[in-house]
A and B are shown apart, each in its own frame.
Chain A
């Protein structure tokens, strides 16, 4: 979906009350929302590419797993040797060149993602 004059905001509710999250709003003259996608990561795989189209122009990338799958998946950005565990959510800003995922469990795990392209 292409959006014009898009503003990406975040809000934090604490105990039902809106609190100032301090994280800046992001304003774009135009943006494309990928929509929510899910991929099934097979059990016991290592460094499988996450098929995010044009990750090199993604500005905001949300990645998360179900509660039951916390700490089963690890991510590698830009072919770096370090990994990031998903427990259960991470949000990246800025562009990246590559993203791979590994699954430490023997069962398939759903990896959810959503991207904002500018």
Chain B
């Protein structure tokens, strides 16, 4: 867990052609008058598992949630469903959502155990700025 005194989050994607670093895109920042925390959890998803419930702590203060499959080998085998939706979202290699996630299930269509990693950023009194 990482915790700071002056909360602020900048989530940035960039790509780099031949390591020139010329292209750089900021995507989302959030700031808060309160502390920010990052929590990371890893969840084993057994082979063939379907809609296994995963607990989400303190959903009211989630500012951003990133999901990804740590195996990196079974493309599209690991999927999630958010907030009671029936839509299977691919997490190979990642999926990111900045809205509150109040319920989550995971499925694994492969014959091997996979690992779903969840990184959550918690803010209270959050404000949002796209940059």
- Spell out A's residues near B (CB within 8 Å): 3-17, 19, 21-24, 26, 31, 33, 36, 62, 64, 66-67, 70-71, 77-78, 80-94, 114, 116
Contact at A3–B15, with CB atoms within 8 Å? yes
Which of A91, A93, A114 contacts B92, CB < 8 Å? Answer: A93
Contact at A23–B119, with CB atoms within 8 Å? yes
User: Complex formed: what's the CA distance from A67 to B38 in Å?
Assistant: 22
A-B CB proximity, top 5 nearest: A15-B4, A87-B99, A82-B85, A91-B96, A94-B90
Report if A94-B92 is in contact (Cβ < 8 Å); known contacts: A4-B17, A70-B128.
yes
Contact at B4–A17, with CB atoms within 8 Å? yes
Residues of B within 8 A of A71 (CB): 99
Residues of B within 8 A of A64 (CB): 27-28, 130
Report if A12-B11 is in contact (Cβ < 8 Å); known contacts: A66-B130, A91-B94, A93-B90.
yes
Report if A82-B66 is in contact (Cβ < 8 Å); known contacts: A4-B17, A70-B128.
no
User: Complex formed: what's the CA distance from A21 to B130 in Å?
Assistant: 19
Question: Is B7 part of the binding interface, using a Cβ–Cβ cutoff of 8 Å?
Answer: yes
Report if A14-B36 is in contact (Cβ < 8 Å); known contacts: A6-B15, A89-B28.
yes
Residues of B within 8 A of A94 (CB): 75-76, 90, 92
Q: Select from chain B the residue with minimum beta-carbon distance to A76.
A: B87
User: Complex formed: what's the CA distance from A89 to B96 in Å?
Assistant: 8
User: Complex formed: what's the CA distance from A22 to B87 in Å?
Assistant: 25
User: Complex formed: what's the CA distance from A19 to B12 in Å?
Assistant: 12
A53 to chain B, nearest CB (A): 19
Contact at B28–A88, with CB atoms within 8 Å? yes
Which of B4, B8, B13, B90 contacts A92, CB < 8 Å? Answer: B90
Q: Which of B40, B66, B92 has the most CB of A within 10 A?
A: B66
Q: Select from chain B the residue with minimum beta-carbon distance to A87.
A: B99
Residues of B within 8 A of A62 (CB): 13, 27
Which of B10, B85, B100 contacts A12, CB < 8 Å? Answer: B10
